[in-house]
C-alpha cells in the first residue's frame, strides 16, 4: 500500500461546485503539505500543517481551504471552483528534523469546466 | 529568500550517453537540496539529497549530483542514459532557517531519451 494516498485520482467538475480532495498517510509524519502543479511552473505551495492544530497558508492559498482532521489526514477544499484551478494537486508529508525529504502522493488531476 | 533555477526546460540525449541536468540555487542559509523525478501520472520520487555532508551525492538509478557552493550549483548527472530515465526532473531547495520547512521547487526539466 502507498504511504501517501490521495483520493480521488481524477475529478471533472463544473464551475461553482465545492470540491474536496483528500490525503491520508501511514508514515506517522506530523508535517503535511498541499501543492498544485501547472505546466512550466513547478509545484507551488497552497497550505501546510505541522500538527492537527496548526494550519499555515502557502504562496497561493486564495480560493482554497484545508482541514487537518487527524495526524494522518489532511484535506483540501475548493469552496467554489473556477476554471483556472484546473491543475494537478499533490499532497506530501515530511518527518521531523532538518533536511528531511518530502514524500508525495500520486496526485489528483482536477479539471474544472 | 531562497530560490532555485533549472537552466533547461527540455533536454534530449541518446540512450547510452551522459545526462546533465543543471540547477542553480540561491540561499541565505546552509541549504538542503534535493532532486526529484516525476514519471507520467505519478507522484514525485526522491532521487537524492544533499544536507551538508559529502558534496558528491549518490542517488538511486545511477544518478548523482555535486554540491558546489562557489558556483551555487547542484547539477544532476548520470553516466549513461536509459530509456526508463525519460521523465520530468525537479531541483528543490529547502527553506531552512525560517522554521517553515518549506520546499522551493524549480520549474522542472523534461528529459527525453532517444533510442
DSSP state of B95: -
Cβ <8 Å between A99 and B44:
no
Cβ-nearest to B46 among A42, A99, A101: A101
Q: For residue A94, what is its C-alpha cell?
A: 515530511
Cβ-nearest to A99 among B41, B94, B100: B94
**E strand intervals along B1-115:** 3-6, 10-14, 19-21, 23-26, 32-38, 44-50, 56-58, 64-68, 73-78, 87-94, 103-105, 109-114
pLDDT digits 0-9 by tens, B48-82:
999 877 889 999 999 999 999 999 999 999 999 99
DSSP state of A100: P
Cβ <8 Å between B94 and A4:
no
Cα distances (Å, whole numbers) of residue B49 to A9, A95, B90, B96:
28, 15, 12, 14
Bridge-based pairing of strands B109-114 and B10-14 is parallel
Q: If we measure between CA atoms, which residue out of A30, A64, A23 comes closest to residue A44?
A: A64
Share of chain A above pLDDT 70, in %: 98
**CB-CB neighbors (< 8 A) of A98 in chain B:** 32, 51, 94, 96
Q: Which residue of A has its CA nearest to B109?
A: A40
Give the C-alpha separation, B30 to B93, whole Å: 10
Cα distances (Å, whole numbers) of residue A27 to A76, B15, B59:
19, 36, 22
pLDDT digits 0-9 by tens, A40-93:
888 999 999 999 999 999 999 999 999 999 999 999 999 999 999 999 999 999
Min Cα separation A104/chain B (Å): 6
Cβ <8 Å between B42 and A4:
no
pLDDT of residue B23: 98
Share of chain A above pLDDT 90, in %: 88
Amino acid at each position: 500500500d502507498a504511504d501517501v494516498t490521495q483520493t480521488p485520482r481524477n475529478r471533472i467538475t463544473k464551475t461553482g461546485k465545492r470540491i474536496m480532495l483528500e490525503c491520508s498517510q501511514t508514515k506517522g509524519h506530523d508535517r503535511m503539505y498541499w501543492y498544485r502543479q501547472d505546466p512550466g511552473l513547478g509545484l507551488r505551495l497552497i497550505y501546510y500543517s505541522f500538527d492537527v492544530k496548526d494550519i499555515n497558508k502557502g504562496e497561493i492559498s486564495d480560493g482554497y481551504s484545508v482541514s487537518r482532521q487527524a495526524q494522518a489526514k489532511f484535506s483540501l477544499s475548493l469552496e467554489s471552483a473556477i476554471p483556472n484551478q484546473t491543475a494537478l494537486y499533490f499532497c506530501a508529508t515530511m518527518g521531523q528534523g532538518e533536511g528531511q525529504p518530502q514524500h508525495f502522493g500520486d496526485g489528483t488531476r482536477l479539471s474544472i469546466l | 529568500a531562497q530560490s532555485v533555477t533549472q537552466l533547461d526546460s527540455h533536454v534530449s540525449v541518446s540512450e547510452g550517453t551522459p545526462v546533465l541536468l543543471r540547477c542553480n540555487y540561491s540561499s541565505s542559509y546552509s541549504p538542503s537540496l534535493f532532486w526529484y523525478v516525476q514519471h507520467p501520472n505519478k507522484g514525485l520520487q526522491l532521487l537524492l539529497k544533499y544536507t551538508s555532508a559529502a558534496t558528491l551525492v549518490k542517488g538511486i538509478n545511477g544518478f548523482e549530483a555535486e554540491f558546489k557552493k562557489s558556483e551555487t550549483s547542484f547539477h544532476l548527472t548520470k553516466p549513461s542514459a536509459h530509456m526508463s530515465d525519460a521523465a520530468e526532473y525537479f531541483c528543490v531547495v529547502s527553506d531552512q532557517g525560517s522554521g517553515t520547512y518549506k520546499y522551493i521547487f524549480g520549474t522542472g526539466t523534461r528529459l527525453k531519451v532517444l533510442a
